[in-house]
Amino acid sequence: MMKEKRNVEQFSRTDFLGIMTGRLKAMATGPNAPVPDLLSYVPNRLANELHPGVQYLKVKEIIAHSPDMKSFILAPDAARGTRSLAWFSAGQYIVILLNVDGKIISRPYSIASSPRDTLDGTLRITVKRVEGGIASGHMLDTWAVGTEIVASAPLGDFTYEPLRDARTVIGIAGGSGITPFRAFAKAITEGDEDFSLVLLYGSRTKADAVFSDEFAAMAEADPRIKLVNVLSEEKIKGCEHGFITAKLIKKYAPKDADYSIFLCGPQAMYDFADKEIATLGIRRKFVRHELFGEYFHPERNADYTGDIQATYKLTVRIAGTEQTVDCPADTSLLRAMEQAGIEAPSDCRSGRCGWCHSQLLSGEVYVPESVDGRRLADKIYGYIHPCCTFPLSDVTIDVPPMPHSR
Ligand code: FES
């Protein structure tokens, strides 16, 4: 008899438990020999070098672009066990673990250097001060040459994939969102990426447009790279004036071929650019966002029905403890935990990596659709990503502890 096909929604908890029972049985009847040291296998050692769980780094050099924006050149810290930097693809980010006044927090930063730069033993991140941001202020004000850093391996999928992306990428960048595009452009000039990049770089004034001269030099040397400065508060010959509109994108996009759009910048830029891009009618797979979602404003979404002025109680069960903290309606559950000094795991902070995956035990929450990266099973069984989940009532969650590798 043919087995009836069921879709995912029709799978029940019993089905999942059935899978678990089978696995437990296999484990119970398996050999009892102790697990060997996995790093004794050469492929595992190599994989560990290329994709370490953690990288111990040191600040090697600091380049100040302005009082509120600096590039930090990081190098491996052999004394703490990191002999070489992990390989990455242009566009990826690392997560930096910070201890700010005794509170452990983590923040993702796009890598601004190219993969080839790692061969010289350096990695570059560029940090812009965020108003009220505890991480950016801490890094800009306290990091010095020699500061010891704990970082993740490179992560993220804001990368160029020739099977998915068009041959021409229109980059839309704002503020420190320029950083992954610097990595892309360098990788193109160094022969490690092969696509055309037209960067529409939005700034208030030309002086705010860091890396502009460097981009211009790369564009001069390689016809596949083009930089267009778009200045909102200044009119300068050779620059566009205003905002990055659909009309402007069309002006620089290829007329007779597909193009991808890659966006990286502050939330306000996405709010504006996404509406403009929607009018272009280009296929969804050709629009890619790099989102570090710490600054979502849930109330800006049409489907948000909560009281944005409210403050709720967030009860957190983690590592055998239970703590209750305040969580304002416009603050993600992850941010509220960090502000209260609770060490909760996170990586992408935009609902994509699943690293903060936690169980919602009680209460109502709001998850913006644009950053809801949960699987269907997670939604059905009440799992959330606290990095992009906002309270609509008092809430209780069960959070996995921060892994020891961090
Ligand atoms: S930190 Fe990546 S999904 Fe929450």
Backbone angles phi, psi at 331, to 5 degrees: -115, 135
Q: Identify the top-confidence range among 13-27, 28-42, 174-188.
A: 174-188
Q: If phi over 0 gives left and psi between -120 and 50 gives alpha, with beta otherwise, what is residue 224?
A: alpha
Distance 346 CA to ligand 1 centre (A): 5
Q: 5, exposed or middle or buried, with CB in 10 Å at 0-12, 13-18, 19+?
A: exposed
Reported as a single tens digit per residue, the pLDDT across 148-171 is 999 999 999 999 999 999 999 999
Domain 311-399 indexed as CATH 3.40.630.30: no
pLDDT at residue 205 greater than cutoff 80: yes
Reported as a single tens digit per residue, the pLDDT across 341-383 is 898 988 888 888 888 999 999 999 999 887 888 999 999 999 9
Reported as a single tens digit per residue, the pLDDT across 87-118 is 899 999 999 999 988 888 888 999 999 999 99
pLDDT at residue 406 greater than cutoff 90: no
Which atom of ligand 1 is least distant from the CA of 348? 2
| pLDDT at position 336 | 94
pLDDT at residue 318 greater than cutoff 90: yes
Testing ligand 1's pocket by substitution, the residue of 107, 348, 371, 374 carrying the most ligand atoms inside 8 A of its CB is 348
Percentage of the chain with pLDDT > 90?
63
pLDDT-derived band at 5 (thresholds 50, 70, 90) equals: low
pLDDT-derived band at 403 (thresholds 50, 70, 90) equals: low
Which atom of ligand 1 is least distant from the CA of 334? 4
Distance 199 CA to ligand 1 centre (A): 28
Which atom of ligand 1 is least distant from the CA of 347? 1
Which atom of ligand 1 is least distant from the CA of 349? 1
Testing ligand 1's pocket by substitution, the residue of 346, 358, 372 carrying the most ligand atoms inside 8 A of its CB is 346
Distance 280 CA to ligand 1 centre (A): 30
Testing ligand 1's pocket by substitution, the residue of 105, 296, 355, 389 carrying the most ligand atoms inside 8 A of its CB is 355
Which atom of ligand 1 is least distant from the CA of 354? 3
pLDDT-derived band at 31 (thresholds 50, 70, 90) equals: confident
Q: What's the predicted TM-score (pTM) here?
A: 0.81
How many CA within 13 A on the CB side of residue 121?
13
| pLDDT at position 391 | 97
pLDDT-derived band at 23 (thresholds 50, 70, 90) equals: confident
Q: By mean pLDDT, which of 172-181, 249-258, 287-296 is the weakest?
A: 287-296
| pLDDT at position 138 | 94
Q: By mean pLDDT, which of 6-15, 283-292, 343-352, 362-371 is the weakest?
A: 6-15
Enumerate the CATH 3.40.50.80 domain ranges in the chain, comma separated: 168-290
Distance 294 CA to ligand 1 centre (A): 11
Fold of the CATH domain 50-152? Elongation Factor Tu (Ef-tu); domain 3 (2.40.30)
Ligand 1 environment, Cβ below 6 A: 346-349, 351-356, 385, 387
Sign of CA dihedral 274, 280, 284, 288: negative
pLDDT-derived band at 393 (thresholds 50, 70, 90) equals: very high
| pLDDT at position 200 | 97
Testing ligand 1's pocket by substitution, the residue of 387, 389, 397, 399 carrying the most ligand atoms inside 8 A of its CB is 387
Distance 79 CA to ligand 1 centre (A): 30
| pLDDT at position 38 | 77
Enumerate the CATH 2.40.30.10 domain ranges in the chain, comma separated: 50-152
If one counts every other C-beta atom within 10 angstroms of the C-beta of residue 240, the result is 20
Rounded CA separation 389/406 (Å): 23
Backbone angles phi, psi at 368, to 5 degrees: -60, 135
Which atom of ligand 1 is least distant from the CA of 345? 1
pLDDT at residue 261 greater than cutoff 60: yes
What is the biggest distance separating any 2 CA atoms in the chain, rounded to whole angstroms?
75
Q: Which CATH number among 3.30.2310.20, 3.30.1050.10, 3.40.50.80, 3.90.470.20 corresponds to the domain 168-290?
A: 3.40.50.80
pLDDT-derived band at 15 (thresholds 50, 70, 90) equals: confident
Reported as a single tens digit per residue, the pLDDT across 172-203 is 999 889 999 999 999 999 999 999 999 999 99
Distance 107 CA to ligand 1 centre (A): 11
Average confidence score pLDDT of the chain: 90
Q: 334, exposed or middle or buried, with CB in 10 Å at 0-12, 13-18, 19+?
A: buried
Contact 331, 294 (CB under 8 A): no
Testing ligand 1's pocket by substitution, the residue of 352, 365, 371, 374 carrying the most ligand atoms inside 8 A of its CB is 352
Rounded CA separation 170/197 (Å): 6
**How remote is the C-alpha of 260 from its chain's centroid?**
19
